[in-house]
Amino acid sequence: MVLVQPSTTPEKDPGGQQEDFGKSSPLGLLMLVLFFIAVFFLVKSMNKHLKKLPASFDPPEGAAAPAGKAGGKPDDGPADEPGGKPAE
């Protein structure tokens, strides 16, 4: 058996949705168009900056490390002593 209670709200109450619910204003359209224009110019600027970057940041194959500095590290002292202190 199902018990049904009569509704206590008036029949014309749309549940918080007034007559202009879901309608957008021309201001919303203007803001959306302005956002699309801003994104267009941001992408254009980003592409311009990305074209200036090299294809790779790796050193060229033909370039060798400077003489006396293996791996391009600064010469702080003997490699087997930490801190660059000479071995005694």
Residue 51, burial from CB neighbour count under 10 angstroms (0-12, 13-18, 19+): exposed
Q: In this structure, what DSSP letter does residue 68 have?
A: T
Q: What is the pLDDT of residue 80?
A: 56
Q: What is the pLDDT of residue 40?
A: 98
Q: What is the pLDDT of residue 14?
A: 62
Q: What is the pTM of this model?
A: 0.45
Q: What is the pLDDT of residue 33?
A: 97
Q: What is the pLDDT along the chain (88 residues), one digit of tens a residue?
A: 677 777 666 666 666 677 777 778 889 999 999 999 999 999 999 999 999 998 888 888 876 555 555 555 555 555 555 555 555 5
Asked if residues 77 and 84 have their Cβ atoms less than 8 Å apart, the reply is yes
Q: What is the pLDDT of residue 37?
A: 98
